[in-house]
A and B are shown apart, each in its own frame.
Chain A
Amino acid sequence: MSLELASELGNVVLQTGQSGGPALSPSAAAALGVGLAAFGAGYAERGIGAAAVGAMAENEDLFVRGLILTVLPETLVILALVAIFLV
């Protein structure tokens, strides 16, 4: 069973190799890039969001400032979206 699978997998690899094209189409690569950028933005927002909520808990006037700082990393995703239009 596993042997069969292995040989089939080998065929697939060979086939893509034979066709000579890249493993990912340009638009797929761009989509992946945007996804990774969004992941990075989310990670950055995690820390900023926690700090912003902490600051707001102490002083409610900081709501607007905290909100702005929290969504700043979102620019990463917007810039990454450029890649979609370029391909």
Chain B
Amino acid sequence: MSTPGTNAPSGSPGSSNPEYVTARVRARRGALFDDDEYSKLVRMSPAEIARYMEESEYEQEINDLGSRHSGVDLIEYALNRNLSRHFDALLGFAEGQLYDLIARYLRKFDAWNVKTVFRGVYTDADSEAIETDMIRAGEFDDALINRLLEAGTVEDVVTVLDGTMFADGLEAAFEDFQETDTLVPLENAVDRAFYEQLLGNLPSGEAIDLYREFLEAEIDFRNVRNALRLARSGADIDPGEYFIDGGRLFSASEMSTLVENTDELVSRIRESTYGEKLSEPLDELEAADSLIDFERALEGVLLRYSKQLGNVHPLSICPVVAYILMKEREVTNIRAIARGREAGLSETAIEQELVIL
């Protein structure tokens, strides 16, 4: 992987090879856990889940980590490692334009890692604890991640990130951080940098146009989620700060007014292009008043959207992104099961936590 965080228009020579990549991606998608396996997993103890995983896709990771960790930790680290192995492999066999598009999307994990380091440093966690939460699937190489882990203060982290795509936004955000002593401005700067490079000068083409629409939907959903959370928490924060540019649903100033009036926000979503897809979860939201269920429904809608897009344009970035989302979701699901079992939640409670297509 080349210089981290640069947004070069072509990072890999040659034309793209969507046939090869999508064939491999589809095979891997087929290996993901299905309904039956989830219902089996829900009934297992953490140790049994680990044993079950050893006989599946996760064999290599469980074997590698089995001697050092156990229980839920083993599952969690194995999941993270497996995720980065698969996504690194994606970058390994994609070429040309396809490589660029996948790399852009996978920088999500760079953003994740940076945020994790910020939180870890802020709460004085030791670097070993931070390291276990890292997902090395993005573009940052091990050297950079190690330097991030060695950083002792938030300022150090910002300095280490100098030269990456996050640098510009972080500089301004750091001043805010010094004034307010909350991580919010820094985390928002990271998110914003990620989404900016994700949508910035996308190539043209029919499939890419649809892909852009999908990314816009992802951003919109994020904004909706943030708006609802802010409305719920009732905290006195400027919602515009959380706003991510690039969506189609509303602008930063609109979001500020909509946060104050949830009903208006809901009706706004209903009237938008997402109204049809989201009508059921919105009904539930209004009836049951449960934000968690709604957020999970949003994710389900997004997953289905990406999957459908992958069927419309089988030879493009679309099926790859669908796979990335599904794999991520699987990891989150298994983690929820393992954590839930450990905490002694009932099977139905855990099942509610899962998003299964």
CA distance A32 to B23 in the complex (A): 34
Q: Is B17 an interface residue (CB 8 A)?
A: yes
The number of chain A residues touching the other chain, given as a range, is 10 to 19
Does B22 have its Cβ within 8 Å of any Cβ on chain A?
A: yes
In contact, A51 and B20 (Cβ under 8 angstroms): yes
Name which of A5-13, A23-31, A53-61, A71-79 contacts chain B. A53-61
Residues of A within 8 Å of B93, CB to CB, are: 54
Q: How many residues of B contact A (CB 8 A)?
A: 12
B124 at interface, CB cutoff 8 A: no
Are B27 and A50 in contact, CB atoms less than 8 angstroms apart? no
CB neighbors of B among A37-58 (8 A)? 47-48, 50-55, 57-58
Which residues of chain B come closer than 8 Å to A53, judged between CB atoms?
20, 23
Using Cβ atoms and an 8 Å threshold, which residues of chain A touch B21? 54
CB distance from A68 to the nearest CB of B (A): 15
What separation, in Å, do the CA atoms of A55 and B315 have in the docked complex?
14
Which listed residue, A47, A57, A58, A59, touches B19 by the CB 8 Å rule? A47
Residues of A within 8 A of B19 (CB): 47-48, 50-51, 54
Q: Which residues from chain A contact B232 at a C-beta distance below 8 Å?
A: none
Assembly CA distance A54 to B22 (angstroms): 8
Determine if B28 is an interface residue (Cβ-Cβ < 8 Å). yes
Contact of B28 among A47, A48, A52, A58 (CB under 8 A): A58
Name the residue of chain A whose CB is nearest to the CB of B21: A54
B24 within 8 A of A: yes
Question: Could you say which residues of chain A place their CB within 8 Å of the CB of B24?
Answer: 54-55, 57-58
A13 to B22, CA, bound (A): 52
- Residue pair B28, A50 in contact (C-beta under 8 Å): no
- Chain B residue nearest in CB terms to A48: B19
Say how far A61's CB is from chain B's closest CB, in angstroms: 11
Q: How far is the CA of A33 from the CA of B26 in the complex (A)?
A: 37
Distance between A70 CB and nearest chain B CB, rounded to angstroms? 11
Closest-CB distance, B226 to chain A (whole angstroms): 38
B27 nearest in chain A by CB position: A58
A47 vs B20: C-alpha distance in the bound complex, in angstroms?
8
* Cα A50 to Cα B26 with chains together (Å): 14
| B 21-54 to A, binary, CB cutoff 8 A, 1 in contact else 0 | 1111011100000000000000000000000000
Closest residue of chain A to B23, judged by CB? A54
Q: How far is the CB of A15 from chain B (nearest CB, A)?
A: 46
How far does the Cβ of A85 sit from chain B's closest Cβ, in whole Å? 34
A50 to chain B, nearest CB (A): 4
How many Å lie between the Cα of A47 and that of B19 in the bound state? 6
- Can you pick out 5 interface pairs between chain A and chain B where the beta carbons lie within 8 Å of each other? A48-B19, A50-B19, A54-B93, A58-B23, A59-B27
The 9 closest A-B pairs by CB, nearest first: A54-B23, A58-B27, A50-B19, A51-B23, A54-B20, A51-B19, A50-B20, A54-B24, A55-B23
What 15 new A-B contacts, CB under 8 Å, besides A51-B19, A52-B23? A47-B19, A50-B17, A50-B19, A50-B23, A51-B20, A51-B23, A54-B19, A54-B21, A54-B22, A54-B23, A54-B24, A55-B23, A55-B26, A58-B24, A59-B27
Interface residues of B (CB under 8 A from A): 17, 19-24, 26-28, 93, 315
